[in-house]
């Protein structure tokens, strides 16, 4: 038997486009997509802060059931129908018969957080995930990249060491990577975007480019400029049609 606590959520201002939280992130970035997990079903949400009624409508919750926010402990929280909830503070819900007796609880435990990748979900309690931890959580293969899903066509790749903080948006998607660059004017294809200098050379050699691992790698900038040499252990982010040059090393004479 669960113990529920009634959550007294203060009504929020709903003028204009609603509260600023998560609606439009700073620097005019598009708003991230939001979702709620209701009775183990992913329900797309229009924004971070929504009324319980929106959740009820979208999840088609019948009148005789109440919405409960799930916490790590068994002290789940029953939400009033006229309340607003910040999905950034927890987006996992279940329904219980409305007539069920409700007891007060402390609600001191963290709320459960559902990350969504390609419509699959996993529940965590730590909001400070990274690209790497999400990749492991969802067992993503190495030839796909993880992107945060925005309310725009310009979704944002998340690097392994990059923060994937829950409050910035819990909805992600993946896409297969196939990037073609040029090494010494030869096309070389990559199945991942972030590689080391050594991987650039190894992949080029495997694809028939006449270089050696001891050669020195340079990226040619868009304006034709040359940056410093790229070290073997240095990480580079590849972009379609980029040009690299790999030349023989020098010696003291």
Partner 1 sequence: MTPSIQQAVEEIRSAYPGHSVDVEDDGAGGAFVKVHDLLIGDQYVPPVSWIAFRITFQYPLADVYGHYCVPNLARRDNVPLGQGFSQQVWRGEPATMMSRRSNHLNPALDTAAFKLAKVLDWMRSL
CA distance 151 to 134: 21
Q: Does 247 bind partner 1 (CB under 8 A)?
A: yes
Q: Token digits for 195? A: 């590689």
Using the minimum distance from each CB to partner 1, give the nearer residue, 101 or 223. Answer: 223
Do the Cβ atoms of 134 and 164 come closer than 8 Å?
yes
Do the Cβ atoms of 101 and 134 come closer than 8 Å?
no
Nearest approach, Cβ of residue 204 and partner 1 (Å): 13
Q: Does 222 bind partner 1 (CB under 8 A)?
A: no
| Pick from 188, 115, 113, 189: nearest CA to 146 | 115
N residues, the chain: 253
DSSP assignment string, 38-68: ETTEEEEESSSEEEHHHHHHHHT--TTEEEE
Among residue numbers 149 through 188, which ones bind partner 1 (CB under 8 A)? 184
The number of beta carbons lying within 10 Å of the beta carbon of residue 63 is 8
Which of 13, 126, 228, 233: binder of partner 1 (CB under 8 A)? Answer: 228
Using the minimum distance from each CB to partner 1, give the nearer residue, 139 or 250. Answer: 250
| Pick from 206, 165, 164, 216: nearest CA to 186 | 206
Using the minimum distance from each CB to partner 1, give the nearer residue, 107 or 229. Answer: 229
Among residue numbers 192 through 221, which ones bind partner 1 (CB under 8 A)? 216, 218
Do the Cβ atoms of 2 and 59 come closer than 8 Å?
no
Which of 226, 239, 240, 241: binder of partner 1 (CB under 8 A)? Answer: 226
39-47, 66-74, 192-200, 241-249 -> range binding partner 1 (CB under 8 A)? 241-249
Using the minimum distance from each CB to partner 1, give the nearer residue, 226 or 241. Answer: 226
Using the minimum distance from each CB to partner 1, give the nearer residue, 208 or 225. Answer: 225
Q: Does 233 bind partner 1 (CB under 8 A)?
A: no
CA distance 147 to 88: 18
Using the minimum distance from each CB to partner 1, give the nearer residue, 146 or 204. Answer: 204
Site for partner 1 (CB under 8 A): how many residues? Answer: 18
Which of 133, 229, 234, 235: binder of partner 1 (CB under 8 A)? Answer: 229
Q: Compute φ and ψ for 69, nearest 5 degrees.
A: -85, 135
Using the minimum distance from each CB to partner 1, give the nearer residue, 39 or 202. Answer: 202
Residues forming contacts to partner 1 in the complex (CB under 8 A) are: 184, 216, 218, 223-226, 228-229, 245-253
């Amino acid at each position: 038997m669960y113990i529920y606590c009634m959550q007294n959520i203060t009504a929020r201002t709903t003028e204009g486009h609603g509260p600023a939280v998560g609606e439009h992130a700073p620097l005019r970035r598009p708003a991230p997509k939001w979702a709620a997990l209701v009775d183990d079903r992913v329900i797309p949400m229009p924004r971070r802060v929504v009324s319980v009624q929106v959740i009820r409508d979208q999840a088609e919750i019948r009148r005789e059931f109440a919405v409960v926010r799930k916490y790590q402990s068994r002290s789940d929280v029953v939400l009033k129908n006229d309340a607003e909830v910040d999905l950034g503070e927890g987006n996992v819900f279940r329904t219980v018969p409305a007539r069920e007796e409700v007891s007060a609880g402390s609600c001191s435990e963290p709320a459960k957080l559902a990350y969504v990748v390609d419509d699959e979900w996993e529940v965590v309690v730590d909001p400070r995930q990274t690209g790497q931890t999400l990749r492991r959580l969802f067992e993503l293969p190495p030839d796909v990249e993880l992107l945060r899903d925005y309310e725009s066509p310009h979704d944002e790749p998340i690097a392994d060491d990059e923060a994937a903080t829950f409050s910035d948006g819990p909805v992600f998607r993946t896409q297969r990577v196939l990037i073609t660059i040029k090494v010494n004017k030869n096309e070389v294809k990559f199945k991942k975007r972030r590689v080391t200098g050594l991987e650039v050379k190894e992949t080029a050699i495997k694809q028939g480019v006449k270089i050696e691992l001891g050669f020195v790698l340079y990226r040619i900038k868009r304006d034709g400029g040359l940056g410093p040499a790229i070290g073997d252990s240095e990480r580079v982010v590849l972009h379609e049609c980029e040009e690299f040059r790999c030349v023989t090393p020098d010696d003291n004479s």
